[in-house]
């Protein structure tokens, strides 16, 4: 008698974009994290017509919204400050994908910019530049190596239940963060300076996002691998 194994979930990964080089690219860490958790990562194109987006959302079991350029402040009704470097190409792609992924209740994980974009898409706002707008003793943008944790976060909700801990150490690589949290989201982790570091969307099957970078730590940090694994299971 043959034993049929459930196929691995296919996970669409939003691409990274280098405007100066006119280049779509990807950090292998995102893909490796998905593979380590049992998923099949597929890097998506930067531009796509809506009919292609429909087919991609139908084909993929989940979506990873990666880090990268700042979310355009115009999307939450503000004028950009000098330190903002945004990408209209990524904003356009991710608005299209996120709207369709939410509508079909696909599993979603956001990392860094991914958290920020999900919050803005759902009506929230951002601190455009933490050093000038929300000064803190915590340096939220660490130097290399990126796989070394530099501050802690206090957990609650589903993330606390998953990891079985009240506090974990995380890495950090961002100059923007959630200012006003969308009413559709709830916090799952907060830094000592009050910055929201993880969120979920309770009305959906699985929409989680973290401000730190588990893709840089999953090989040595069980907490990071657990986040990828939880996401892939829900895919």
Does residue 230 carry a catalytic annotation? Answer: no
User: In 10 A of CB 154, how many CB atoms?
Assistant: 16
Tell me the per-residue pLDDT of 70-124, one tens digit each, with 9 for 90 and over. Answer: 999 999 999 999 999 999 999 999 999 999 999 999 999 999 999 999 999 999 9
Residue whose pair of structure tokens reads 């530099």 in the numeric block: 150
Catalytic residue among 174, 215, 230, 235: 215
Is the model's pTM score more than 0.95? yes
Give the pairing type, strands 16-18 and 151-155: unpaired
| pLDDT value of residue 63 | 98
| pLDDT value of residue 186 | 98
Whether residue 169 is predicted with pLDDT greater than 80 in this model: the reply is: yes
Whether residue 4 is predicted with pLDDT greater than 70 in this model: the reply is: no
Tell me the per-residue pLDDT of 173-211, one tens digit each, with 9 for 90 and over. Answer: 999 999 999 999 999 999 999 999 999 999 999 999 999
Catalytic residue among 140, 174, 213, 235: 213
Q: Average model confidence (pLDDT) for the chain?
A: 97
Contact 101, 58 (CB under 8 A): no
Does residue 174 carry a catalytic annotation? Answer: no
Catalytic residue among 112, 197, 230, 235: 112
Contact 216, 187 (CB under 8 A): no
Does residue 215 carry a catalytic annotation? Answer: yes
Higher pLDDT, 2 or 62: 62
| pLDDT value of residue 2 | 62
| pLDDT value of residue 6 | 76
Whether residue 1 is predicted with pLDDT greater than 90 in this model: the reply is: no
């Amino acid at each position: 008698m043959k034993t049929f194994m459930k196929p691995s979930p296919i996970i669409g990964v939003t691409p990274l974009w280098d405007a100066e080089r006119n280049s779509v690219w990807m950090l292998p860490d995102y893909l490796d994290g998905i593979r380590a958790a049992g998923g099949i990562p597929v890097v998506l194109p930067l531009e796509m017509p809506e009919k292609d987006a429909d087919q991609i959302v139908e084909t993929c079991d989940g979506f990873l919204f990666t880090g990268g350029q700042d979310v355009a402040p115009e999307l939450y009704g503000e004028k950009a400050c000098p330190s903002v470097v945004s990408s209209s190409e990524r904003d356009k792609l991710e608005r299209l994908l996120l709207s369709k992924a939410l509508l079909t209740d696909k599993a979603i994980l956001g990392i860094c910019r991914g958290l920020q974009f999900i919050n803005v898409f759902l009506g929230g706002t951002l601190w455009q530049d933490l050093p000038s707008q929300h000064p803190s003793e915590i340096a939220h943008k660490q130097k290399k190596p990126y796989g070394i944790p530099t501050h802690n976060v206090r957990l609650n909700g589903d993330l606390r239940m998953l990891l079985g801990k009240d506090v974990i150490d995380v890495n950090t690589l961002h100059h923007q963060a959630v200012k006003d949290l969308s009413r559709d989201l709830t916090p799952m982790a907060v830094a000592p300076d009050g910055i929201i570091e993880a969120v979920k969307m309770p009305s959906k099957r699985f929409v989680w996002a973290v401000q730190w970078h588990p893709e840089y730590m999953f090989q040595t940090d069980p907490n990071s691998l657990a986040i990828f694994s939880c996401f892939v299971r829900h895919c």
